[in-house]
Structure formats: C-alpha cells, structure tokens
Amino acid sequence: MTTTTGMRVRVHRGCHEVGGTCVEVEAEGARLVLDVGRPLTAGREDEVPLPDVPGLADGADPSLLGVLISHGHLDHYGLLDQVHPSVPVYAGRAATAIIEAAQFFSPGPSLRTAGHLVDGETFSIGPFRVTPLLVDHSAFDAYAVVLEAGGERLMYTGDLRGHGRKRTFERLLASPPPDVDALLMEGTHVGSERHEPRTEARVELDLAATFRATTSLAVVASSAQNVDRLVTVYRAARRAGRTLLVDLYSVAVAGATGRSTIPQPGFPSLGVWLPRRQRVRVKESGEFHRTAAVRPYRVFTEELVAHPERYVVLGGQSVAHELLRDRALAVGGTFVWSMWSGYLAEPSGARLREATRAAGVPVVEHHTSGRASVRDLRRLVDAVKPGAVVPIHTEGADEFVRHFPGTTPRRDGAWWSVGTEAS
Ligand SMILES: [Zn+2]
C-alpha cells in the first residue's frame, strides 16, 4: 500500500510567461526540479540568477535529488551552467548529444547528464517514480514526464505539439497516463493563437512549391537544431528535383541524433556547402576532421553561381548575406524564412530584408510552430482527464479557464498541492 503523504509543486517561472521554465516538486521530504530555463526576454549578455531552489546553486541541500530537462531549448535548460555540478541532471541521450555537438558552432551551457530519459522507461529518483514520454517538438528528443510520489501523480508536458511528423501525440492521446492528479500543461498559443498551425507535412509541400517556382538558387534560413525542419526541407528539395546543401552545424546535429534516418552526408541529393564563418572556425580550431569528413560531398560557391537552379541551401540567417555578396543568391532566387517570424522583425532580420530587397530576391516565409494548437491541447486534456490543469509556459493563463475544464491557475513562487485537497 502506498503512503499518501502528498506531492507539492511550485513553479518558479512560467505561470504567466513563455520560456524560462523552472518547476520544483517536493514529496516525502525530497525534491526534483523540472527544467532550469533561461527567460526568452533575457538578452544574450544579461545575468539571470537561478530560481530560489534550495541546493540548486550550492549543491548543499541533500533533499534536492536532481534536475530533469525536458528538451534542449535554452528556455528550458539555459541556466544549467549555474546549477552546482553535484546536482545530477537527467535529459534525453540524443538531446544531450545535440547540445554537445552544437558547442563548436554556438557555445552555451552543456547538459552534462548523469542519467538519460528514455521513452516509456520508468525509473526512480528517491521517492519519485519518473516516466518520460517522448513528444513531438521542434527540439529533437523532447519529453513530457509523469512524476509519481506520495500517492499522487503529476504530468508535465514540457513543450509539445500534435502537428509535427512524429505520431507521439496521437499515441499519447490513445494511451494516456492513468490517474493524473495535476497536468502542468504548456500553453504557448493559448490566448494568442490566430489560426490553426500548419502541419510540418504542409510546410514540406509549400516549400516544394516555392522551390519549383524559383528559377535560381533557393536559400532556407532555419535553426540547425530543428531536426524536423531539416527533414522537411530535404524532402521538399527532393520533391522539387533539387539537391539540398547543408552546413557543418547541420551535419554535426544530424550525426548527434544517432538516427540513420535523419538526412546527412551520404543521402541521395544531399551535399555540403560551407559558409565562410564555419571554414574560419575550423581553421582557427584546427579541427580539420570536420571538413575532411564531408570532403566528398562538398559543393563550392562557384558551382552555386554556375548552376543555382539545381540547389537549395539550408543554413542560418547569416548565410543569405554571404550568398548575396557572392552573387549566388540573385534575381530569380528566393530566400525562405523558416523560423519564428518575430526574428525577422529584429534589427538583424531588418538588415536581411533590406539586403534581399536590394538584390531583387523575394523573402517567403514557410514555418510552423513547435508548440501545440489550442485544439490539440484540448484533445490532450480530454484524453488525460487530469484532476486539475495548471497553466505553464504561457501568457494566456486566464484564457486557460475558458478552454480547459478544471483549470487552476497558479502564481510563480507559490507552493500548491497536487492532490485534490485544497492547497
Ligand atoms: Zn521548446
């Protein structure tokens, strides 16, 4: 028989904010932390203190048993470098490998995992039974987690969506975890959704149509760590009869997934084009194995200038400037923005729009969100039937009440009980 001593939760950040997620869970005198995210509002150089979780910064409180990272997005793990090294960190194996692989191109906190989250494999940390559930998100190897302790069960969605390529969302709806007392559910789009998000499959078709309509080079700007988008752009390029050119960052991330199904050198109609910045980075670091490994697949800028209509170049936003300068991207070409449109409104995005406009190259947006539609969140709540829905990772907590029965909004920093008794 289980002892029913209850489980308590306090959200340190996220009750009324997208990003910077951090949740502390306590049961039977032990504590776990879910995510230690960096706020999206924080500038690159801003100092952001750790949330006030005893033992997190100094490792001096033995009741703190560890940190679970739902997925490799900075707004969920970006403060990890301030967490004391003696505090164990748990995250997905591929997620960890991807963050490690990214260090060469975009240095940041490491995931330094002590143990890995594996889909459907329950394990124990002190009194907590932890069950990770693989979810579809724009970060590869992302998890929701079910925590069980003190006779109660909490489910935390992390970030997830139902309109991606993986069938994990439908699987979750078909066999939801039973007896969830509280569902801590992300609501990025709650209160701000203007229309149903496009599916990743739809983005593929739209990209293919754009590539076909383009008579010269097509350049796609996306996040190198958005593996689903890499798959989407590759498939779209194939549909349009073009060769996809990826960069070293994309090659490193694809390799780190450990999945042979993810497009990487050796795949048909896939080549490697190296932006100047990466060539310099390799030279400075002396890590020439990186370029040696892709040598047979390389396509050079001269070839892009000679036969631009044969290719799609996938890279970060700076790639467009280089290709414009080298006249590979010119009249007849298309620049595709495949990231959050808000970035295009920032100063760097404005410079990009100005540069493409001056070159007579249209900018087309093909993107879809990594987070669930309100409709899919409603399906999730209907399937899980939790005792309570608690909004997190949202600016629309007040709207939750309208969409999801049983919503109990909470405040950042306040403890509440997972069970049905009044807190
Ligand atoms: Zn995320």
ipTM confidence: 0.97
Query: Residues 267-319: pLDDT tens digits?
Result: 999 999 999 999 999 999 999 999 999 999 999 999 999 999 999 999 998 89
pLDDT reported for residue 148:
98
Query: Which of 39-43, 78-82, 251-255, 379-383 shows the lowest mean pLDDT across its residues?
Result: 39-43
State the residue for tokens 């191109």: 105
Query: Which of 205-209, 341-345, 419-423 shows the lowest mean pLDDT across its residues?
Result: 419-423
**Residue type, position 233, single letter:** V
> How far, in Å, from the CA of 233 to the mean position of ligand 1?
20
Distance separating alpha carbons of residues 89 and 102, to the nearest angstrom: 19
> How far, in Å, from the CA of 370 to the mean position of ligand 1?
7
**Higher pLDDT pick, 21 / 422:** 21
pLDDT reported for residue 420:
63
Distance separating alpha carbons of residues 180 and 151, to the nearest angstrom: 11
> How far, in Å, from the CA of 361 to the mean position of ligand 1?
31
> How far, in Å, from the CA of 143 to the mean position of ligand 1?
10
Instruction: Give the count of beta carbons closer than 10 Å to the beta carbon of residue 337.
Output: 23
Q: Decide the pairing of beta strands 7-13 and 22-27.
A: antiparallel
End-to-end CA distance of the chain: 24
> How far, in Å, from the CA of 260 to the mean position of ligand 1?
24
Q: Distance of CA 421 to CAs 4, 13, 108, 129, 182, Å? A: 12, 24, 42, 22, 12
Query: Residues 86-128: pLDDT tens digits?
Result: 999 999 999 999 999 999 999 999 998 999 999 999 999 999 9
User: What burial letters (b/e) apply to 297-323, b meaning 16+ CB within 10 Å?
Assistant: bebebebbeeebebbbbbbbbebbbbb
> How far, in Å, from the CA of 414 to the mean position of ligand 1?
24
Give 43's pLDDT tier (boundaries 50, 70, 90). confident
> How far, in Å, from the CA of 112 to the mean position of ligand 1?
19
> How far, in Å, from the CA of 392 to the mean position of ligand 1?
13
Nearest to 401 by CA among 191, 169, 157: 191
Give 230's pLDDT tier (boundaries 50, 70, 90). very high
> How far, in Å, from the CA of 331 to the mean position of ligand 1?
36
What SS3 state is found at 144? strand
Backbone angles phi, psi at 249, to 5 degrees: -65, -50
> How far, in Å, from the CA of 74 to the mean position of ligand 1?
8
Considering the chain, what is the average pLDDT of its residues? 95
> How far, in Å, from the CA of 113 to the mean position of ligand 1?
18
> How far, in Å, from the CA of 76 to the mean position of ligand 1?
7
**Residue type, position 159, single letter:** D
Rg of the chain, C-alpha, whole Å: 22
Query: Residues 121-163: pLDDT tens digits?
Result: 999 999 999 999 999 999 999 999 999 999 999 999 999 999 9
Residues 168-172: what's their mean pLDDT? 96
pLDDT reported for residue 423:
43
Nearest to 44 by CA among 106, 95, 105: 106
> How far, in Å, from the CA of 241 to the mean position of ligand 1?
32
> How far, in Å, from the CA of 140 to the mean position of ligand 1?
10
Query: Residues 337-368: pLDDT tens digits?
Result: 999 988 898 999 999 999 999 999 999 999 99
Q: Is the pLDDT of residue 380 over 70?
A: yes
State the residue for tokens 């493409």: 356
Residues 203-211: what's their mean pLDDT? 98
**Is the CB of residue 189 less than 8 Å from the CB of residue 373?**
yes
> How far, in Å, from the CA of 70 to the mean position of ligand 1?
9
> How far, in Å, from the CA of 52 to the mean position of ligand 1?
22
pLDDT reported for residue 44:
83
Q: Decide the pairing of beta strands 142-149 and 128-135.
A: antiparallel
> How far, in Å, from the CA of 66 to the mean position of ligand 1?
20
> How far, in Å, from the CA of 41 to the mean position of ligand 1?
15
> How far, in Å, from the CA of 228 to the mean position of ligand 1?
13
pLDDT reported for residue 1:
43
pLDDT reported for residue 422:
45
240-243's contacts with Cβ under 8 Å and 24+ in sequence apart are 240/208, 240/211, 240/212, 240/312, 242/211, 242/218, 242/269, 242/309, 242/310, 242/311, 242/312, 243/269, 243/270, 243/271, 243/299, 243/310, 243/311, 243/312
Instruction: Give the count of beta carbons closer than 10 Å to the beta carbon of residue 191.
Output: 17
pLDDT reported for residue 2:
45
Distance separating alpha carbons of residues 382 and 385, to the nearest angstrom: 5
Angle between helices 248-256 and 227-239 (to 10 degrees): 110
> How far, in Å, from the CA of 271 to the mean position of ligand 1?
29
Name the CA dihedral angle for 192, 198, 204, 209, rounded to a multiple of 10 degrees: -100
> How far, in Å, from the CA of 328 to the mean position of ligand 1?
34
Around ion ligand 1, residues with a beta carbon closer than 5 Å are 73, 159
Helices of type H across 259-390: 276-285, 289-294, 301-306, 318-325, 342-345, 347-358, 374-384
> How far, in Å, from the CA of 137 to the mean position of ligand 1?
7
> How far, in Å, from the CA of 21 to the mean position of ligand 1?
10
Distance separating alpha carbons of residues 52 and 175, to the nearest angstrom: 36
Portion of the chain with pLDDT greater than 90, in percent: 91
**Is the CB of residue 71 less than 8 Å from the CB of residue 99?**
no
Sheet holding 270-272, edge to edge: 270-272, 243-246, 311-315, 218-221, 334-337, 363-365
Give 192's pLDDT tier (boundaries 50, 70, 90). confident
> How far, in Å, from the CA of 393 to the mean position of ligand 1?
10
Residues 402-412: what's their mean pLDDT? 94
pLDDT reported for residue 4:
54
Distance separating alpha carbons of residues 172 and 175, to the nearest angstrom: 5
**Is the CB of residue 258 less than 8 Å from the CB of residue 98?**
no
> How far, in Å, from the CA of 37 to the mean position of ligand 1?
10
Instruction: Domains for the chain: give ranges and CATH numbers.
Output: 7-193+370-417 (3.60.15.10), 200-365 (3.40.50.10710)
> How far, in Å, from the CA of 186 to the mean position of ligand 1?
10
pLDDT reported for residue 421:
52
Residue 384 tokens, joined: 């899980």
What SS3 state is found at 386? coil
